[in-house]
Amino acid sequence: MTGTLPRFPSMQRGMTMPSLFSGVSTPSIPSLPRGLTMPSMPSLPSMPSLPRGITVPNFPSLPRGITVPNFPSMPSLPRGLTVPSLPSLPRGMSLPRSVAMSTISQAPRRLLQDCCSVLDHQTPGGLCGCCWALRPRYKRLVDNIFPEDPEEGLVKANMEKLTFFALSAPEKLDRIAAYLSERLTRDLNRHRYGYVCIAMEAMEQLLLACHCQSINLLVESFLSTLRLLLEHDKPHLHMLATNSFVKFANIEEDTPSYHRSYDFFVSRFSEMCHSEHEDPEMKNQIRVSGIRGLQGVVRKTVDDELQANIWELRHMEQIVPALLVNLQERTTADSESPAEQTEVCFRELLGRAAYGHINNAIRPVLMHLDSHSLWEGRSFAVQCFQIIMYSIQSQHSHLVIQQLLGHLDANSRSPASVRAGIVEVLSEAAVIEATGSVGPTVLEVFNTLLRQLRQSVDYELTGYYDNAGLNKTTSAEEKTLQDAVIKTIGSFANTLPVYQRSEVMLFIMGKIPVPGIYPALGSPNAGFEGSRMIQVMLLKSLLQVSERYESSNLLTALPSSFLEPLLSFTLMEDPEIRLLVLSILTSLIDRRHNAARLSTASVNFDVSVLELKEDRCSRQDVLFIRKHAQRLYRHVYLTCKEESSGRGHYQALFILLVVLSVELSNEEVVVDLIRLVLALQELALSNQEQLSVLNRCGVHALCAVFLHILSQLGPPLPLHQHIRKVIESRQKDAPHLLPEDVYCENPRLPEGELQVSEDFLFVQSEICEALTGSSYSAHDERFNTPYTPQLTDEDRLSKRKSIGDVVSLQMEMNPQEGSDTQQRPQTEQITFETLKNTIEDRGSVEEEERRRMQVVERFQTAPFEEIAAHCGARTSLLQTKLNEVFAMIIRPPPSPSGHTTPRSTPLYEMKFPDLCVY
């Protein structure tokens, strides 16, 4: 071919082109694709000229195997008739060589538009772009899956052909995906959303079919297509892309990918979770899609170490707040609601968190609750951390506790409502974390909570919760916080094993300020009242720990290091402190939980409701009785002497004595308890003690109700008869000596001085006679000895005068020799106080405090050499004073003749020969 058309014969006016070619065979032309039609050709003379600068491009050679048919010779055109030149084709269009024309002057605009429509989905350039039959096979297979009407959906038969081709030639997958993405982009730009859905469905089917080793060839085009859909402004396209991504996320890949990034999807799905669409139903659908998208990102990345690390803080700060916003708006229990979907996603996210990821997952939760002031409401914060504690692995739960404790310290200058909300969340988290592992720093947990108690006491006394005095607080708010902290301490302790609870109780006991020992514990502005409040708070915390403490061994539950400082608080003047100590003792001794059954003291109480043990005391219990029983009895006795003791104290004493008799039931304990009761009765009758009528009646009622119960626990019947006789006498003539009239809101007391007849008293001789002939008679000698409390110097802890007697030593001293005949005193009293004052010359309390502060300041500021020299000097001074004391003690008395006896050499100063030394 030469590039010009053959000469046509001349045509007469009115003749048509088909008549010219009658009898001439036309070469076969391949059929057009489905849905494409050839536009009608207008008459040639009416074609306009081509635009300036547009030329007909050179056509490439035909593919191998394709030939141009030979056209027969045609007659020439009539004289004067010429064929107009065709305009050049638009850029990107080409015609096959067989139809190229050299010069055509005009072409209608409609022809260009129709050509663009026909060749819409053709690749520009080359013969194959125009001829559909000559295009690559994968493009034809892709084109065949699209129907004429998008409402008909994907052509399944042709989709199967495309899938088979992709599986047979996996090297073409990247081209197939690119071409599908190209068609989808073109349809998206032209708002053909039906074809967009068809293209996405085809991509999904290809992903599911080719997910073994060739999925990486599809993923890049697939993810870029999803980005286009998510960047569009149509919500239904967002949901379409999310559904496709979720299906992709559920595919398990065999080959790793090193270059994928999901940062865009994390941010876009998080944005969808915050949707505020006008239509509420559409808003919920968008939010649910965003939540499902985040869930898909987590599933796709969390188990693949080569993927992007989704646990980085920058990702968690987008994902976690997006989930919490929807979780906060829980209104219904619909499984398709955003809140329900959020909870499922949140649980899955936390359940996949490893040890090193917990902190990054929890920190955004704390920040979200802070920024939206959600601690004060408490309900959502508690619900949120319940989900967290139940979702994470149990061995990681202590990390959540540590995060909450650190956050509590960071908010120590926040309002009381915020601190109380954090503490309540801690309490609920501790209840869930019941594995007994709060972490390696168990005591640090309690140290943080106790520090919050002390700070709360300071805030309550000053009225401000900051040092600047700008933010006010109230006593009610701080008490709410204190109650929450005490409850949390009990919750934490209940999650620990028994041996760790003992350590916690010792730790709390060591934190309780004792007057004279820790006078300045807490804030310097708190003073004595602050110390008293801290004592009460810590004892309440100790009571919370002891209430659920269960131990079969009282020696372990009440060691000397714990029992002695605890009992010392029964000497405090504050009645609330004494009542707390009695409750703590009762809870630790009451191993069978009988205290709840003894809440009401009555002389009609039936012992059958108590859980009595049939066997005798164990060896450990006997050792505990012999070691600590007298100390317990002493503090019971001293508590009854307190004028500030009220109804609650006597009821607590009654419960404590009954628990002792039940838990440590043997003859020796029963005899000692009867002796104690008789001593208390004498105390109530004594005029030497300045007790009110209420106190005296309370002690008499305590003796009556306890002996009534004790007589039913094993002693012989005559004892029960005597006690019952006295109680009946009191019921008839002296009801004010029984608990029913004394331990009530409005006690009925006699006017004036209390007069108690002998008929209303328990007589020691009759009780001893009632016990004769039983196993208790072996303790007659002990029973006949009146009980006297063992008095020690423990009163110094409560700043009271010591009631112990000091035994003094009388020593004669040598008369002073000299010209003057003035005689020195012949004796000098050497007491314990003398020795103590000789070793350490102590002044007043103020002077002692001043010296202590000087010592502290010296050790904080002075250099080490100066401190060492000072300590050495103190040691030499101490040795000198000790030598003086020893010289006074070992000095021989004067002889009767008046001459001084030669001083005998002390044994430690004698020098023996070497042969005598063994």
Which range (221-230, 390-399, 818-827, 853-862) has the least confidence? Answer: 818-827
What pLDDT was estimated at residue 104? Answer: 39
pLDDT at 181 over 70: yes
752 phi/psi in degrees, rounded to 5: 80, -155
Q: Looking at residues 514-530, what average pLDDT do you find?
A: 55
Predicted confidence (pLDDT) per residue in 94-114, tens digit: 444 333 333 333 445 545 544
Coil, strand or helix: which one is 827?
A: strand
Q: Which two tokens stand for residue 578?
A: 């004494």
Average of per-residue pLDDT across 484-496: 87
Task: For 243-306, give the secondary structure using H, E and C.
Answer: HHHHHHHCCCCCCCCCCCCCHHHHHHHHHHHCCCCCCHHHHHHHHHHHHHHHHHHHHHHCCCCC
Determine the pLDDT at residue 74. Answer: 44
Distance CA 151, CA 198 (A): 9
Residue type present at position 335: S
Q: How far is CA 664 from the centre of its chain?
A: 41
Listed residue (160, 173, 240, 257) closest to 210, CA to CA: 173
Question: What is residue 226's predicted lDDT score, i.e. its pLDDT?
Answer: 92
Report the percent of the chain where pLDDT is more than 90.
16
pLDDT of residue 255: 66
What is the predicted pLDDT for the residue at 239?
Answer: 92
Q: What is the DSSP letter of 8?
A: P
- Give the lowest-confidence range in 331-340, 479-488, 531-540, 810-819: 810-819
Closest to 838 in 3D by CA, of 886, 790, 896:
886
719 and 771 Cβ atoms separated by less than 8 Å? yes
Q: What is the pLDDT of residue 108?
A: 52
Confidence (pLDDT) at 42 = 46
- Ranking 301-305, 346-350, 674-678 by mean pLDDT, the lowest is 301-305
Strand, coil or helix: what is 830? strand
What are the C-alpha distances in Å from 441 to residues 447, 448, 553, 805, 818?
A: 10, 11, 26, 47, 72
- Can you give the pLDDT at residue 137? 85
Q: Give me the helix-helix angle, 358-371 and 379-391, nearest 10°.
A: 170
Residue 37 pLDDT more than 70? no
CA distance between the termini of the chain: 139
Query: What is residue 888's predicted lDDT score, i.e. its pLDDT?
Result: 66
Interaxial angle between packed helices 647-663 and 619-641, expressed in degrees from 0 to 180 and rounded to the nearest 10: 160
Residue 317: pLDDT band (50, 70, 90) is: very high
Q: Mean pLDDT across the stretch 852-867?
A: 72
DSSP for residue 149: S
Q: Tell me the two tokens of residue 446.
A: 């309690």
How far is 685 from 695, CA to CA, in rounded Å? 11
Phi and psi based region of residue 370 (left: phi greater than 0; alpha: psi -120 to 50; beta: remaining) = alpha
CA–CA separation, 348 vs 740, rounded Å? 60
User: What is the pLDDT confidence band of residue 837, given thresholds at 50, 70 and 90?
Assistant: low
pLDDT at 447 over 50: yes
In this prediction, what percent of the chain has a pLDDT beyond 70? 69
SS3 824: coil
Helical (H) or strand (E) element with 812: strand 809-812
- Residue 818: pLDDT over 80: no
pLDDT in tens, 765-789: 888 888 887 777 767 777 778 888 7
> What tokens appear for 681 in the block?
């009765």
Give the helix ranges, DSSP H, for 278-415: 280-301, 313-328, 338-351, 358-371, 379-391, 397-410
pLDDT at 524 over 80: no
User: Is residue 552 helix, strand or coil?
Assistant: coil
Decide if pLDDT at 802 tops 50: no
Model pLDDT, residue 581: 92
Average pLDDT estimate for 473-483: 90
* pTM summary value: 0.65
The answer to whether residues 639 and 790 touch, using CB atoms and an 8 Å cutoff, is no
Q: What is the maximum span of the chain, computed from C-alpha positions, in angstroms?
A: 185
Residue 71's DSSP bridge partners are none
Reported as a pLDDT band with limits 50, 70 and 90, residue 242 is very high
Average pLDDT over every residue of 556-580: 87
The answer to whether 582 and 652 are in contact (CB under 8 A) is yes
Using one digit for the tens of pLDDT, what is the confidence trace for 586-607?
999 988 888 888 878 888 878 8
